[in-house]
């Protein structure tokens, strides 16, 4: 046992000694290695700092050469040439050389040379800013061919340090002895180390398991990031993506592959990119741990999103390597904030408007809570009651019993709050010695849930309105008394005035027969006209007074409504033509005889048509008549409509229509005349007939007056006519000798045919001079004188005939319907005035009236069916066919003559208009207008009439010429229609 134990002890001792030696040797080697490593690191650090100084020196040299070659100062402004980069390594060398006097001296020399180089560099930069030439010269003088002192000193110090490094790291046997001894001791200790090998293996296995577990945890962390509700990405220092999670695609629209290694600014606008670049560069430079910023990004489809980005700096071994960013989509929150800001702005504007309304409204406005305490009052409240806002806010009406009616207010306040409804009332409040009246409206105020939290009251001061109402009531009472007295006075006065007027008119008619000179007859005619006008006014006053007094009774006699209506219109045709108005009639077939008062119906129509023409300056006046038969077929309701295109009646003034002695505008009396009695009398007469009257706007402008009157049918007894009995009627102009002065060939044919058909003997004079010569040759009953004729016109011919002392009836027969034409004819001595195209039976009546065989108030001839037609075709031959009386040859002759003559004249009109000879063009237009009265072509006639008016009023030449060309198109269309009519005939 002992034998064995000693070797074991020796081996154990040897092992112990070996281990001890190995430990001591390792300790000493480690200490030497540590010292060696410290020296190596120190030397290496010095070499690095000297290399940095050498590099900066070369960089300064290179920058100077670059500036010298290119002249670009950017070489001198490079960021890597800063003073800090030169100064820092020198100071670090001084710290490392502390304790070594020789090394410290070399470092001081180096510092001096570096500072000199820094001063020179700064001076060079300032000189380059001031003068590039001086800077270049300075560089050339500063840089010799041989290396400078700084470069030489740096090179020597580097060589010294490299030599020292080689000495420290070079091979040596004395240095290898510990290694050999260590190997020997290691061999002895192999067996010892083998025991620990198994432990090492076990530790390695444990480390592998720990690493696998770490990787699993890392995978879980990544999955957690992927599943998180935010976008996570990392980038390098340049801002290029190095990692993005799945949420990044949802936010940006780009896939992970599309974003990888792409710059972050691809998602930004240039302005945002520049701002964020500066922000994150500053964060990296200052070492700020994290930043939070909000900005907009641009998705792949161009859509913009607001994001909030949390950025953390990534470091590896303490060195900045990139950014880690957590991004949250805040678009919805941003939009919500914007809506909130807009809502706040709108609320502020609404509040400002509300405050402005409260401050400026003339009404009293106040707001109370449910307890009746005042919450807000406006300025009007303060000035009216003499109570300021500070005094009344939070208090009730009971606190001011002298100024506010607390009891009545509390009752209405409770009604508003409890019933949750608006309450309106009138209140009387005594303020000082004055009683004020208020119209108050109180209504509940509700919150967003609809609950009533108070009330608002608006009080309007109606004191002046109440006073005016009392004044109006008193004035109305006095007016009614005065009105009754006026009506009695008017009734009596009208009767008193009518008696002497009847005498004046009667004796004037007798005096007219005794007058021999034209001047005397003219004076008598003026007296008679004035007396008749005064009689109309007096009759209207009498009728109005009689109606109001209940003394007017309607007659009941048989009359023909169609004839009465035509007779009424005939009275105003000349007057309408003088004003340039169209007088139209639209009437249903009214062949039945009615029972009623024709005089009053005619009076109603006279008043309405007279007013329509009076208040219309251009356009047309139209009378429309329709009949409605009742069920028993013994009663007919006539409905009349008188429409015009005049000044119209504003809607707010229609209630005044028909008031006694009232016109819509006081200026109308001076402009249009009258005393405002016509419509009042008309309304009363219609009401007396049990009819109705309404005033409307005319769709074409102006006014439309509608009324309806019921009548009974006149059913005569049927009397059998004896066989063979027949009624023979003589032609209306049988045996009459008539001279026609007319130069237009077409009108000559028409006049001769019309008058001959009526039984007259007709002679023709083609000029005014010929008419003057012929009227003495035969005892003519009447002369139909055209106005426009060559050599001598109709007016001059009439004056010569009158100056010769002849009283032969002369009727103007002309196409002129301009204002003033009628007066010219009458002043020249003519008896009457008939416009073309004339209605034959109307012309017959004028002739018979002129020669004294028919009175003006006699019922007119019953018109033919074509005369009442309201359909206006392009060409209307009904008039010509009625004159021709189905004479085919005569009709063809007239139409062919019309086409030949008018075509020639129209060509001359075009030629005159083209040369600007408007006087000649006016004459041709008048000839065409006269011819167009025979063949009624309404559109062309209207255009020709407009051309005549434009030439007469000296309208612009371009406008007249344009109308002539438009008329030319219509004229050609008219000729085509006439040619078709000729083929049909």
Residues 490 and 544: beta-carbon distance below 8 Å: yes
Q: What percent of the chain has pLDDT over 90?
A: 8
**Which of 399, 395, 391, 397 shows the shortest CA–CA distance to 411?**
397
Decide if pLDDT at 652 tops 70: no
> How many Å from the N-terminal Cα to the C-terminal Cα in the chain?
171
Task: Determine the pLDDT at residue 770.
Answer: 92
Q: How does pLDDT run across 212-224, given as a tens digit for each residue?
A: 886 777 677 666 6
Q: How many residues in total does the chain contain?
A: 985
Q: What is the rounded CA–CA span in Å between residue 368 and residue 362?
A: 20
Kindly state the DSSP code that residue 570 receives in the 8-state scheme. Answer: H
Residue 456: pLDDT band with limits 50, 70, 90: very high
Task: Determine the pLDDT at residue 191.
Answer: 61
Average pLDDT over residues 37-41: 80
Residue 542: pLDDT band with limits 50, 70, 90: low
Q: What is the rounded CA–CA span in Å between residue 296 and residue 302?
A: 12
Q: How does pLDDT run across 665-724, given as a tens digit for each residue?
A: 544 444 444 545 667 778 888 888 888 888 888 776 788 889 999 988 876 544 344 444
Q: What is the rounded CA–CA span in Å between residue 701 and residue 896?
A: 41
Q: Out of 502-511, 854-863, 938-947, which region has the weakest mean confidence (pLDDT)?
A: 854-863
C-alpha count within 13 angstroms, C-beta hemisphere, residue 24: 6
Q: Give 834's strand partners.
A: 813
**Which of 703, 685, 682 shows the shortest CA–CA distance to 622?**
703
Task: Determine the pLDDT at residue 227.
Answer: 65
Kindly state the DSSP code that residue 715 receives in the 8-state scheme. Answer: -
Task: Determine the pLDDT at residue 173.
Answer: 54
Kindly give the residue spans of alpha helices, DSSP state H, lying in 362-462: 379-385, 389-392, 406-419
Residues 412 and 425: beta-carbon distance below 8 Å: yes
Q: How does pLDDT run across 282-296, given as a tens digit for each residue?
A: 888 888 888 999 999
111 or 871: whose pLDDT is higher?
Answer: 111
Q: What is the rounded CA–CA span in Å between residue 68 and residue 74?
A: 12
Question: Alpha-carbon torsion 95, 96, 100, 105, what sign?
Answer: negative
Q: What is the rounded CA–CA span in Å between residue 181 and residue 18?
A: 10
List CB contacts of 325: < 8 A, sequence separation 6 or more: 232, 233, 234, 235, 309, 310, 311, 312
Residues 705 and 693: beta-carbon distance below 8 Å: yes
Q: How does pLDDT run across 462-477, given as a tens digit for each residue?
A: 888 888 887 888 888 7
Taking all residues of the chain, what is their mean pLDDT, rounded to a whole number? 77
The total of other beta-carbon atoms located within 10 Å of residue 733's CB is: 25
Decide if pLDDT at 486 tops 70: no
**For the ranges 780-784, 880-884, 966-970, the one whose mean pLDDT is highest:** 780-784
Decide if pLDDT at 230 tops 80: no
**Which of 355, 295, 360, 363 shows the shortest CA–CA distance to 329?**
295
Q: What is the rounded CA–CA span in Å between residue 304 and residue 252?
A: 9
Task: Determine the pLDDT at residue 738.
Answer: 93
558 or 920: whose pLDDT is higher?
Answer: 920
The tokens of 722 are what? 């004896």
Q: How does pLDDT run across 347-403, given as a tens digit for each residue?
A: 888 888 887 887 788 888 999 998 889 988 988 888 888 888 888 898 988 888 777
Q: How does pLDDT run across 114-138, given as a tens digit for each residue?
A: 888 777 777 777 776 776 666 666 6
Q: Out of 10-24, 623-637, 907-921, which region has the weakest mean confidence (pLDDT)?
A: 10-24
Task: Determine the pLDDT at residue 200.
Answer: 55
Task: Determine the pLDDT at residue 725.
Answer: 37
* Stretch (H or E) spanning 117: helix 101-130
The total of other beta-carbon atoms located within 10 Å of residue 243's CB is: 16
Write down the pTM of the prediction: 0.29
């Amino acid at each position: 046992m002992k034998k064995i134990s000693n070797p074991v002890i020796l081996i154990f001792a040897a092992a112990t000694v070996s281990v001890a030696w190995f430990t001591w040797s390792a300790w000493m080697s480690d200490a030497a290695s540590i010292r060696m490593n410290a020296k190596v690191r120190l030397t290496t650090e010095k070499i690095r700092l000297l290399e940095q100084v050498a590099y900066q020196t070369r960089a300064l040299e290179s920058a100077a050469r670059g500036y010298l070659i290119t002249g670009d100062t950017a070489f001198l402004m490079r960021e890597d040439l800063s003073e800090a980069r030169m100064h820092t390594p020198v100071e670090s060398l001084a710290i490392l050389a502390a304790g070594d006097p020789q090394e410290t001296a070399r470092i001081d020399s180096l510092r001096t040379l570096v500072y000199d180089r820094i001063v020179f560099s700064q001076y060079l930069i300032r000189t380059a800013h001031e003068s590039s030439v001086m800077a270049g010269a300075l560089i050339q003088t500063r840089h010799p061919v041989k290396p400078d002192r700084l470069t030489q000193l740096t090179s020597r110090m580097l060589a010294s340090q490299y030599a020292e490094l080689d000495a420290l790291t070079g091979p040596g046997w004395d240095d290898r002895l510990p290694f050999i001894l260590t190997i020997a001791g290691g061999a002895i200790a192999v067996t010892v180390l083998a025991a620990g090998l198994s432990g090492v293996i076990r530790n390695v296995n444990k480390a592998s398991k720990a690493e696998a577990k770490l990787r699993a945890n890392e995978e879980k962390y990544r999955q957690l990031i992927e599943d998180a509700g935010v976008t996570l990405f990392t980038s390098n220092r340049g801002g290029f993506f190095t990692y993005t999670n799945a949420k990044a695609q949802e936010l940006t629209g780009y896939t992970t592959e599309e974003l990888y290694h792409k710059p972050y600014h691809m998602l930004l606008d240039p302005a945002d990119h520049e701002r964020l670049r500066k922000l994150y560069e500053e964060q990296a430079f200052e070492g700020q741990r994290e930043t939070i910023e909000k900005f907009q990004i641009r998705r792949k489809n161009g859509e913009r999103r607001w994001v909030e980005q949390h950025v953390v700096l990534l470091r590896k071994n303490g060195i900045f390597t990139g950014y880690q960013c957590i991004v949250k989509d805040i678009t919805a929150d941003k939009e919500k904030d914007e809506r909130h800001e807009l809502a706040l702005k709108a609320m502020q504007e609404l509040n400002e408007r509300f405050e402005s309304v409260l401050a400026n409204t003339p009404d009293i406005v106040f707001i109370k809570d449910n307890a009746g305490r005042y919450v807000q009052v406006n300025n009007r409240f303060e000035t009216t009651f003499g109570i300021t806002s500070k005094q009344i806010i939070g208090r009730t009406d009971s606190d001011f019993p002298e100024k506010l009616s607390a009891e009545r207010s509390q009752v209405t306040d409770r009604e508003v709050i409890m019933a949750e409804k608006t309450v309106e009332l009138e209140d009387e409040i005594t303020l000082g010695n004055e009683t004020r009246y208020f119209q108050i409206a109180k209504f509940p105020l509700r919150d967003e849930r609809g609950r009533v939290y108070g009330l608002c009251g608006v009080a309007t001061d109606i004191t002046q309105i109440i006073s005016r109402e009392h004044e109006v009531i008193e004035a109305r009472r006095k007016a009614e008394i005065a009105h009754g007295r006026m009506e009695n006075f008017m009734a009596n006065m009208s009767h008193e005035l009518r008696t002497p007027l009847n005498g004046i008119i009667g004796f004037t008619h007798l005096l007219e027969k005794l007058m021999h000179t034209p001047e005397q007859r003219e004076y008598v005619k003026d007296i008679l006209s004035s007396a008749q006008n005064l009689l109309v006014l007096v009759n209207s006053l009498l009728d109005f007074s009689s109606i109001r007094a209940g003394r007017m009774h309607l007659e009941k006699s048989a009359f023909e409504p169609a004839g009465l209506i035509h007779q009424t219109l005939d009275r105003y045709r000349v007057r309408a033509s003088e004003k340039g108005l169209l007088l139209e009639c639209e009437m249903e077939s009214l062949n039945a005889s009615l029972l009623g008062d024709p005089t009053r119906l005619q009076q109603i129509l006279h008043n309405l048509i007279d007013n329509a023409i009076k208040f219309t300056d251009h356009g047309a006046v139209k009378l429309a008549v329709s009949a409605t038969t009742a069920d028993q077929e013994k009663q007919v309701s006539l409905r009349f409509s008188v429409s015009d295109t005049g000044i119209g009646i504003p809607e707010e003034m229609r209630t005044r229509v028909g008031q006694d002695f009232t016109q819509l505008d006081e200026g109308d009396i001076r402009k249009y005349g009258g005393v405002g009695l016509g419509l009042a009398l008309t309304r009363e007469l219609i009401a007396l007939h049990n009819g109705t009257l309404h005033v409307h706007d005319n769709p074409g402008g102006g006014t439309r007056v509608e009324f309806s009157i019921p009548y009974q049918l006149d059913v005569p007894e049927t009397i059998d006519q004896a066989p063979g009995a027949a009624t023979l009627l003589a032609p209306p102009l049988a045996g009459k000798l008539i001279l026609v002065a007319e130069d237009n060939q077409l009108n000559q044919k028409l006049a001769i045919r019309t008058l001959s058909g009526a039984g007259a003997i007709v002679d023709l004079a083609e000029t005014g001079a010929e008419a003057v010569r012929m009227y003495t040759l035969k005892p003519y009953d009447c002369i139909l004188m055209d106005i426009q004729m060559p050599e001598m016109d109709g007016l001059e011919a009439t004056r010569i005939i009158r100056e010769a002392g002849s009283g032969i009836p002369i009727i103007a027969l002309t196409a002129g319907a301009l204002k003033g034409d009628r007066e010219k004819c009458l002043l020249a001595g003519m008896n009457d005035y008939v416009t073309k195209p004339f209605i034959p039976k109307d012309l017959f009546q004028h002739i018979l009236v002129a020669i004294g065989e028919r009175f003006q108030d006699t019922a007119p001839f019953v018109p033919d069916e074509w005369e009442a037609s309201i359909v206006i075709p392009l060409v209307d031959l009904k008039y010509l066919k009625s004159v021709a009386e189905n004479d085919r040859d005569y009709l063809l002759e007239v139409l062919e003559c019309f086409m030949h003559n008018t075509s020639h004249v129209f060509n001359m009109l075009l030629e005159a208009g083209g040369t600007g000879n408007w006087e000649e063009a006016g004459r041709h237009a008048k000839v065409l207008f006269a011819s167009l009265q025979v063949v009624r072509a309404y559109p062309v006639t209207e255009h020709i009439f407009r051309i005549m008016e434009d030439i007469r009023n000296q309208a612009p030449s371009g406008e007249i010429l344009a109308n002539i060309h438009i008329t030319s198109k219509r004229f050609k269309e008219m000729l085509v229609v006439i040619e078709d009519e000729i083929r049909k005939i």
